[in-house]
Every structure is written in C-alpha cells, then in structure tokens.
C-alpha cells in the first residue's frame, strides 16, 4: 500500500494542491484512497467536505497532532498533507510511514533556502525504499527566478517530477472539491500534460 507524503516546512507552497490532486489521480484509477491532513489549517479536510457525492470517493484519514493514526483495512492508497514547520519527532513519525515523499518548491529564494535544510533533514530520517521527488510549483519558465529554481533543483541529485504552471484551474476546481482528474481532459489538457511525470513516478 503506497503512502505518499507531501511535505515542505514553508507554508503556502502548494502542499494541499498537490495532495488533493494526487488523491484525485489515485481515485480516478479506481483505488480505495484516503487523504490525511496533519496541517492545523486543515485545507485538505475542508476540500474533502466540498467534494460532491458524484465524484470518485476519497476518504479522510484521521491524523492527530501527536501521532499518525493506524490505517483502516481496505485502504489501498494513502496521501498525507503535512503542516508548515514539520520537524523533529513529528517529522520522523510521518516519514516512517512514507513510501514516497513529494516536496513542492516555488521559485523563491526564501523557499529554496528553507527547502535545502529540510531536504538535509529528510536524508537523516530516510529509510530504505523511500523515494523523494521535487515538484516546482507556480513556475513561469520565462522568468529568471524559474532559471534559478531549476539550477538549484539540478544540484540536489533528486528527480524533478514536474514544473507546474500558475493557473486558476487548481483554484476553481478546489472550490468544488474537484481535481484535474475529475473533469473532462479537454478542460485541463495543458495541466494534465505537466502532471504526466508525477503520475508515472507515483505508479513506479
């Protein structure tokens, strides 16, 4: 049973956007998906409350502030949205459950600085078999900041799964509890193309 953890110590980098869409991708494949939200803001849990009954089901995973709850039987795929400032024993507990860790990263010097330290911490707690991948968020490939982000990511020695553009599609879909994988592909064709590498990595 794959457990995907989406983590970055900085707030506002797109963790919930990634988490909900990964859960939506798994659900679109017919899997029994649970989405956990360890963030105090509970953005992913709020999103689940907006999800229409006609959409493919995604169940909530109860995650307390002190420890990660045991998964119920029948679950096949799990996604965990984590809080800003994740560190110490809490981080170690979360990573102990992870098969895959996705780190969202925006083209900002502040994000890059915070993420470098975080990735060093992940190396300390990384267990055998755990995979780590990077996703560039809200990236405009025409900008100097995007070039700096790509240069930084290339220096990490970790796979870059995708560079996702800044688009209102994520915002509009989230407002209705939906993901890219819940609507007609023609509506979000460009975004689905950017997600191809993420999906292949999730399935590997």
More confident residue, 116 or 100: 100
Contact 7, 82 (CB under 8 A): yes
Residue 136 has pLDDT above 70, yes or no: yes
Question: HEC states along 113-135?
Answer: HHHHHHHHHHHHHCCCCCEEEEE
Q: Which residue range is the domain that position 79 belongs to? A: 3-203
Helices (H), the chain: 15-28, 43-50, 88-97, 109-125, 144-154, 168-174, 189-194, 196-203
Q: Whole-prediction pTM value?
A: 0.91
**pLDDT tens by residue, 54-94:** 999 999 876 655 555 566 677 899 999 887 777 777 788 78
Most confident of 50-64, 84-98, 143-157: 50-64
Residue 12 has pLDDT above 90, yes or no: no
Residue 135 has pLDDT above 60, yes or no: yes
Pairing of strands 58-61, 77-81: unpaired
Average pLDDT, whole number, for the chain?
87
The mean per-residue pLDDT over the stretch 39-60 comes to: 87
Number of domains in the chain: 1
CATH number of residue 149's parent domain: 3.40.50.300
């Amino acid at each position: 049973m794959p457990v995907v953890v989406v983590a970055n110590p900085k707030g506002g980098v797109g963790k919930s956007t990634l988490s909900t869409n990964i859960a939506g991708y798994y659900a679109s494949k017919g899997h029994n998906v649970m989405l956990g939200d360890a963030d105090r803001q509970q953005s992913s849990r709020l999103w689940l409350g907006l999800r229409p009954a006609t959409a493919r089901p995604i169940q909530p995973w109860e995650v307390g502030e002190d420890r990660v709850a045991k998964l119920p039987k029948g679950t096949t795929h799990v996604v965990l949205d984590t809080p800003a400032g994740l560190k110490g024993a809490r981080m170690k507990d979360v990573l102990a459950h992870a098969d895959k860790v996705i780190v969202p990263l925006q083209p900002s010097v502040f994000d890059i600085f915070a993420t470098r330290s975080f990735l060093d911490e992940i190396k300390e707690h990384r267990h055998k078999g755990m995979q780590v991948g990077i996703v560039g968020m809200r990236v405009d490939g025409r900008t100097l900041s995007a070039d700096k982000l790509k240069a930084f990511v290339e220096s990490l020695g970790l796979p870059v799964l995708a560079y996702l553009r800044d688009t209102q599609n994520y915002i509009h879909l989230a407002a209705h509890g939906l993901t890219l994988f819940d609507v007609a592909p023609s509506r979000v064709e460009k975004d689905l193309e950017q997600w191809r590498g993420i999906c292949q990595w999730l399935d590997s």
